[in-house]
Amino acid sequence: MKNFIKMQLTQIRQGGIAVLFRKMKAILNSFLRLILSILSRKLQRICATIMSNYNSKRKPNLDVIVIVTHRVHVRACKIAYGLKICNYKVVLLHSDPGFCNFDSAVSSLFDVVLMYNSPEDAVSKATRFRPIAYNILCNWDYRVAMTFVKMRPGIVVVDTLDVLGGLVRPQILNLLQEKNERFCFENADGICCRDLRTQYLKQKLGYRLSPRLFWPDYCWPVGFTKSYDKLKGEKHVVYAGNIEINPSSPVAYQYDLARLLAHTGINFHIYPSVQSQAVELRNEIRNLVSSDLMKYVHIHDTLSFLDLASELSTFHAGILISTKNVNYGNDHDTYYGFMEEYFLAAKIFDYHEAGLLCLTQNMRMLRYIFPNNKFYREVHSLAEIVEIVSKMEIREIEVEPKLRLDYHAHRLSEFYLRLYNQKFKRTGS
């Protein structure tokens, strides 16, 4: 403490009173911003509570759905498109600054688009529309969903972009996140599930779950995304999604796979989900793949999901594995090995729609979705991927109508209506 005081006095002597004044001003401004933020949140909570209580007693607009998400994922867009097919008016509430860069075809999926700045602000803005249901997409952050569930402005459906409890390793998982997730899953009016991970919560952890709908991401309807001709001559393999930049991580298999494919003269295309990952990956991969083989390694900029869908259609095979040893196993940084029994990746449908052969780890649900096994090949090592691609015939893979979004769109609306009718009977209002 004495040293700190001496340091401050020295700075004052050197810079004069002006230095001290600037420091005090900065501290005061920070304090005022904190106070204003607290007051603003309290005011938003009061407004949200009033509006929730008021609108929960009014009959909803049975043809309106509000989708709430902090980041606008392709799943939110597919849900919106499915509901539009069923003649719903779809409102999007989000806090994603990148949404303004989306393709106009994406924003046109929503009738109204609004941004929120806090969970309470989201509730206040959402309740104005009095929808038949609020569909809240959660991805590791359940604060917005919790606010809706607690305030009960109407039918609240929690959508599982990801599931944490029991599946994520304790060194990664925040206990508060797990607690918030369980509260939402047990107290929401319904849960919309992209895979079977909530089944693990029910069977193994004893969660008393709200009514559920199994609704994967499916493929877009015919004609929604453009399709290009396959590249001729050399083989082209693609991966699209999140990237682990640290080469020493067991999850960062892209480095080893790029080197193995390049040695065999096979092109490897990588489309990171985040642009900063593309920049870092380009710098890092040059240290691990020799310069004469880099012509086979293509690190692309991040694309919107519509542009990506078109690009994917030019390649021949898509990669969907988790580690350098392919499966989750004991090496995965985030998830336990038994994830493969419950998990279904959205990329499966992206690759399938693009007409790619999907090279994937063990995933139990694939055997039910694609029982004839013509679309995917289960692999057990990176070397096996190289072998399969080297010998594969280039061919188009047709999407079955039953795997397209428009075939299943009605199930969403029926789920919302069923939850509404159940609540209507309970309350008698």
Domain of 248, CATH number, reads 3.40.50.2000
Contact 185, 207 (CB under 8 A): yes
Share of the chain above pLDDT 70, in %: 87
**Contact (Cβ atoms closer than 8 angstroms) between residue 207 and residue 186:** yes
Is residue 361 domain-shared with residue 381, that is, in the same domain?
Answer: yes
User: Is 14 domain-assigned?
Assistant: no
Q: Are 184 and 152 in contact (CB under 8 A)?
A: no
pTM metric for this prediction: 0.86
- Same domain, residue pair 94 and 112: yes
Q: Is the pLDDT of residue 207 over 70?
A: yes
Quote the domain boundaries for residue 371. 236-403
pLDDT at 3 (0 to 100): 61
Question: Do 155 and 178 belong to one domain?
Answer: yes
Please indicate, yes or no, if residue 3 is contained in any of the structural domains: no
* Same domain (yes/no): 314, 376: yes
Q: Are residues 281 and 415 in the same domain?
A: no
Residue 230, domain member (yes or no): no
What are φ and ψ of residue 113, in 5° steps? -130, 125
Cα–Cα distances (Å) from 423 to 124, 185, 191, 323, in that order, read: 22, 17, 15, 45
pLDDT tens for each residue of 110-120: 999 999 999 99
Same domain, 317 and 412: no
Helix (H) or strand (E) segment spanning residue 135: strand 131-138
Identify the residue whose tokens are 């594969």. 392
- If asked whether residues 340 and 410 sit together in one domain, one would say no
In the predicted model, is pLDDT for residue 231 greater than 80? yes
Are residues 252 and 177 part of one domain?
no
Whether residue 81 is found in the same domain as residue 163: yes
pLDDT at 4: 53
> How many C-beta atoms lie closer than 10 Å to residue 303's C-beta?
18
pLDDT at 12: 53
Contact 408, 215 (CB under 8 A): yes
Is residue 383 domain-shared with residue 308, that is, in the same domain?
Answer: yes
User: Which residue, among 189, 180, 93, has the nearest Cα to 142 in the 3D structure?
Assistant: 180
Residue 112 lies in a domain: yes
Are 278 and 302 in contact by the 8 Å Cβ rule? The answer is: yes
Tens digits of per-residue pLDDT, 325-351?
999 888 888 899 999 999 998 899 999
Beta strand segments in 81-122, E: 89-94, 112-115
- pLDDT-based confidence at residue 404 (cuts at 50, 70, 90): very high
Answer whether residue 36 is part of any domain: no
For the chain, the first-to-last Cα distance in angstroms comes to: 65
Q: How many domains does the chain have?
A: 2
Distance CA 177, CA 231 (A): 45
Helix, coil or strand: residue 392? coil
Whether the per-residue pLDDT at 57 is higher than 80: the answer is no
Question: Has residue 378 been placed in a domain?
Answer: yes
φ, ψ for residue 51, nearest 5 deg: -65, -35
Residue 364 belongs to a domain:
yes
Tell me: pLDDT of 358 over 70: yes
- Whether 244 and 281 map to the same domain: the answer is yes
Task: Please indicate, yes or no, if residue 46 is contained in any of the structural domains.
Answer: no
- Are the beta carbons of 191 and 210 closer than 8 angstroms? yes
Looking at residue 384, its pLDDT comes to 97
pLDDT at 388 over 60: yes
How many angstroms separate the CA atoms of 84 and 111, rounded?
A: 9
At residue 23, does pLDDT exceed 70? Answer: no
Q: Is the domain of 191 the same as that of 303?
A: no
Looking at residue 161, its pLDDT comes to: 86
